[in-house]
Structure 1
């Protein structure tokens, strides 16, 4: 018999995850998308969380169910399945928390929140950020070996997508820094001021107009700015 979470279902999950994260530039937003998609797409999983570390220190969490967010948060205690997965660089599974003794404090909290089983899979994002994706089941017949395989594939795919998000975030930050430098630069800043006055628009929009003109004319941005400033500075005939 074909497993109910077979190849097609897993492929659909990964496609949905890719579609959900492909254009995201904010890392926290990406984590939120990730846990919601995983929760909705994986059968028997009631909630999903993500534990992130940056440079070895807790760097935030994401939870599909805010009421269970503390289970992913290392500030509530470091002895958790997520941290075990991160430290050992392998998937951690506990299908019956009633019989679990590895994380007594965490397990007590999890059971109080209606969690019966957990799978935590390590996620490598980049040289600074690592984490674990955590799948939680509430029923007694919750997590099986098919969920472990799904968690492994999900973690690997999520790592690639989150790395791309981090890269886009860095590029956006660099672009913002470049824009700030350009706006402070003499002739470009003057040209931006002219466009802002003419169009009644904010500086970023004015800079975008200037860039668009430079691209259309196929000439450097500074030259376009110089032409504009010369044009508005030229004395008019009476």
Structure 2
């Protein structure tokens, strides 16, 4: 009777833990535009929120760039680094496109050199889960246990859900970064464009503000008046160019 009551309680607790993890991760990454900052937040939240996990790392491969890592503990960053060679759990997960698990490194034989380093750092278990971020970036999130057999089946399910959700959130971070870069290019073009550039110069002189702030003033006026940005700029330039009477 006690066992029957206990098992559903444990299962419910696992669902609540996972929901809390995904909610916290979403809140932390929702407005981030810097990819490396997003990775740093991800590994910290995973370390602090997933029970049984003592450390978390992330191995990232970006097209045309060296492999990168993020680690909740800089002391363990080397375990996620491609500089250690291709024979380690994260790269196995990325290459095979499946979760890689070792619940007790004492008996692990797949990555002998890496395992020796991990055990020397106090790691007893590892769970690496691959995730696709976009066409140019892939990676693996790596959960490390400080005790044997801590990465239970429930933790493995949490890791799968974490990787799936993190992949979507990180894709969003990449998308916002591209949009911000594009907006910067557009702003730079507007600053140099004819009457808009003139109007920006007028506002900078009047308000003593930098060009980006002056451009924002123009945009706010265009939005408030529901007219195109260029028309607002033309009106301003005409107004200040008009000869004063008297």
Corresponding residue of 1:143: 151
- 8 A contact 2:125–2:149 mirrored in 1: no
1:17-166 aligned at under 5 Å gives the runs 17-55=25-63, 58-166=66-174
- 8 A contact 2:100–2:127 mirrored in 1: yes
Q: Offset of 1:57 from its aligned partner?
A: 5.7
What is the SS of the residue equivalent to 2:139?
A: strand
Structure 1, residues 106-155: CA drift from partner, whole Å, max 9, x if none? Answer: 11221121111100000111111110000011113422111111111100
- 8 A contact 2:126–2:142 mirrored in 1: yes
Match of 1:12 among 12, 17, 20: 20
TM-score (normalizing by structure 2) = 0.92
Aligned-pair RMSD on alpha carbons? 1.5
- Flag as ranges the 4+ runs of structure 1 deviating above 4 A: none
What is the SS of the residue equivalent to 2:10?
A: coil
Q: 1:131 to 1:56 in 2, by over 3 A?
A: farther
Distance in 1 (alpha carbons) for counterparts of 2:87 and 2:199: 57
Distance in 1 (alpha carbons) for counterparts of 2:111 and 2:65: 20
- 8 A contact 1:47–1:136 mirrored in 2: yes
Q: 1:22 to 1:224 in 2, by over 3 A?
A: same
What is the SS of the residue equivalent to 1:125?
A: strand
Corresponding residue of 2:198: 190
Distance in 2 (alpha carbons) for counterparts of 1:146 and 1:216: 53
Q: Offset of 1:56 from its aligned partner?
A: 7.7
Distance in 1 (alpha carbons) for counterparts of 2:88 and 2:204: 54
Which blocks of at least 5 consecutive residues in structure 2 are unaligned?
Answer: 1-6
Corresponding residue of 1:221: 229
TM-score (normalizing by structure 1) = 0.95
What is the SS of the residue equivalent to 1:79?
A: coil
What is the SS of the residue equivalent to 1:9?
A: helix
Distance in 2 (alpha carbons) for counterparts of 1:223 and 1:104: 69
- 8 A contact 2:128–2:142 mirrored in 1: yes
Q: 1:155 to 1:97 in 2, by over 3 A?
A: same
Structure 1, residues 75-133: CA drift from partner, whole Å, max 9, x if none? Answer: 23221100110110000001111111211221122112111110000011111111000
Corresponding residue of 1:176: 184
Q: Offset of 1:30 from its aligned partner?
A: 1.0
Which blocks of at least 5 consecutive residues in structure 1 are unaligned?
Answer: none
Distance in 1 (alpha carbons) for counterparts of 2:241 and 2:84: 63
